[in-house]
Amino acid sequence: MTDQKNMFIAIGLSLAILIGWQYFYGIPMAEKQRQAAEQQRIIQQAEQAQQQAPAQPQPGDAAGAAIPGTPAGATAAGRAMTREAALAATPRIAIDTPRLKGSIALKGGRVDDLSLLDYHETVDPQSPHIVLLAPAGSPHPFYAEFGWTTAPGATMKVPGPDTVWTASTGALTPKAPLVLTYDNGEGLLFKRTYTVDENYMFAVKDEVENKGTGPVTLYPYALVTRQGLPKTEGFYILHEGMIGVLGDSGLQETTYSKLEDGQPHLFKATGGWLGITDKYWAATVIPDQKSQVDARFSSTTTNNVRSFQADYLGSGKTVAPGGTAASDSQLFAGAKVVAVVDGYQKQYGIDRFDLLIDWGWFYFITKPLFIVIDWIYHLVGNFGVAILIVTVLLKLVFFPLANKSYASMAKMKALQPEMMAIRERFKDDRTKQQQATMELYKKEKVNPVAGCLPILVQIPVFFALYKVLFVTIEMRHAPFFGWIHDLSAPDPTTIFNLFGLIPWNPGSVPVIGAYLMLGAWPIIMGFTMWVQMKLNPTPPDPTQQMIFNWMPIIFTFMLAHFAAGLVIYWAWNNTLSVLQQAVIMRRNGVKIELLDNIRGAFRKKAGAGK
């Protein structure tokens, strides 16, 4: 009975992985297809309507002050412009850094044009650079805006989305800040200074000088807006959408779908940050870490086009005649590189900014695992090799536990003849059969459950590595050897076209095409899993035997859709486990029939050749 429990535990773990795969991959894939269809519908509608987000009032302590809305951003014909046309529609100042190329619109003073020079759309280095931010009026508007707003009823004129600023320089570079000025003609002189570093951080300083005769009260704000539902990965383990760390509220993650009811999500915080994140990139606004702000995630629909916004409104600043006021903030707009994000958290004291990268619930495993892999990568120059080395290190860490488990399994395998004899002797009396089996375990000092420990140890590491491969940009387009040009993507080969020898793409087959993409590395992984299972004690029940015989095949097809780096890790881990288990079995005097059969086949073939 205990032996059967051991088998059912293993089966249960396997089913848990299968169910997990369906939950994390199968269902999200269906959701991803639904979102793709929805995205296409939105694009078609966007081409027939102006992209416009109305003003949205800010709550609470700001006395009802409102953050300005998004102006109309389409051509006179009411059709969305191309990105190039939208950029040409307003005067601009170039952004030129080692990692960013784009521009700031003088109309509105927005940061609304950014491309990431270190990243391409595909593994082909000649493919287009990743476009992060885009102006209103283009097919996919995504931009950041800063400024001042007033309380309801105030008549003073403040710069808004339609304001045309005056620039002091010809380009914004890490060595040359950009100063924008605007005189409202009513006694207020506004000044905005942009600076940018070598990576992805902008500093924004908004100042106002009161040359009038009476005091004025202004409220600083910052926002990130995205118009249209973006294409997302659609995986449960990855958050895409609104994100921020907002004081005591901690990490806040709101998906696009959760804002469909039109109800804003409101927060009060001191410092923190908030914005919109994709899988590998993000745009976030960051207030002064000592300032109290009202923060918000919100969404509106105008002309069938949905807009999403993350914004904050600071406390009012009263400017006396002849006086000045200033507001400092920052904008992160770029790739979520771990070292860069961590560096900003430390450099600027940004509250938990490292959570911009979705390390997940097992942060305490996932991030240290990445740090080790990344450190080894800088020694060997290949992330795939780094994963193999980390696998060996994990094997060494868990060696005592695995050694004990494999020794127990070896003893179990050695006891198979006696266990079969007990079952035959008491085949009509299950109680006596169980008693005799337990006495045998006790006599030989065997723990039948110990054989499951290596599986239990491997599962959290497996999911942590899966998370690392899936969310870290360092793994994106990272090559291994041979045909693996991207460790974060599935093996691109398939046995069904003889690994590329036949000019046919099995993935194009309707319905079952995805299951025909069975690459070389998943097959290698399946074979190593089959060998490992052959070393384990044979289940006495025919049904159990059938399940265990089919498991390597099931896992081969299942893992074919996972990141190649994860499959390589599993195959390598299986290989090390087989070697370790074989040595332990030999030491315990257990005959390894599989290896003996292989050796015998080679000897027979060699003898026939003489």
* SS3 assignment for 438-467: HHHHHHHCCCCCHHHHHHHHHHHHHHHHHH
What is the predicted pLDDT for the residue at 476? 92
254 CB burial (10 A radius; 0-12, 13-18, 19+): buried
Q: Would residue 147 be called left, alpha or beta, if left means φ above 0 and alpha means ψ between -120 and 50 degrees?
A: left
The CA distance from 281 to 226, in Å, is 14
End-to-end Cα distance, the chain: 51
Q: What's the sign of the alpha-carbon dihedral 486, 509, 524, 566? A: positive
The CA distance from 412 to 583, in Å, is 15
Q: Which residues of the chain form CATH 2.70.98.90?
A: 47-358
The CA distance from 49 to 582, in Å, is 68
In terms of Cα–Cα distance, which of 188, 208, 220 is closest to 62?
220
Report the predicted TM-score, pTM, of the whole model to 2 decimal places.
Answer: 0.80
Residue type, 417: P
587 CB burial (10 A radius; 0-12, 13-18, 19+): exposed
Q: What are phi and psi of 565, to 5 degrees?
A: -60, -35
Strands 171-172 and 92-96, bridge-based pairing: parallel
The CA distance from 57 to 311, in Å, is 11
What is the predicted pLDDT for the residue at 17? 53
What is the predicted pLDDT for the residue at 605? 59
What is the predicted pLDDT for the residue at 230? 87
Q: What are phi and psi of 430, to 5 degrees?
A: -65, -35
Beta strands per DSSP E along 108-187: 111-120, 129-133, 142-149, 166-167, 171-172, 178-183
Mean pLDDT, consecutive 10-residue segments, the chain of 610 residues?
45 51 48 46 39 37 53 42 91 96 96 96 93 93 95 86 90 95 94 97 97 92 93 80 92 92 91 96 96 94 89 94 96 97 97 94 90 95 94 84 71 74 76 78 70 68 83 93 91 85 78 79 92 73 73 86 88 88 74 61 58
Sequence-distant (≥ 6) Cβ neighbours of residue 491 within 8 angstroms: 483, 484, 517, 519, 520, 521, 522, 560, 564, 567
3-state secondary structure of 298: strand
Give yes or no for a contact between 478 and 563, defined as CB atoms under 8 angstroms apart: no
What is the predicted pLDDT for the residue at 2? 41
The CA distance from 283 to 311, in Å, is 12
In terms of Cα–Cα distance, which of 172, 478, 476 is closest to 336?
476
Residue type, 485: H
The topology under which CATH files domain 47-358 is Beta-galactosidase; Chain A, domain 5 (2.70.98)
Which tokens sit at 7? Answer: 């088998």
Q: What are phi and psi of 223, to 5 degrees?
A: -150, 155
* Tokens 């659609």 belong to residue: 234
What is the predicted pLDDT for the residue at 540? 59
Q: Cα separations (Å) of 55 from 160, 161, 295, 509, 571?
A: 11, 11, 16, 48, 55
The CA-based diameter of the chain, rounded to the nearest angstrom, is 110
Q: Would residue 360 be called left, alpha or beta, if left means φ above 0 and alpha means ψ between -120 and 50 degrees?
A: left
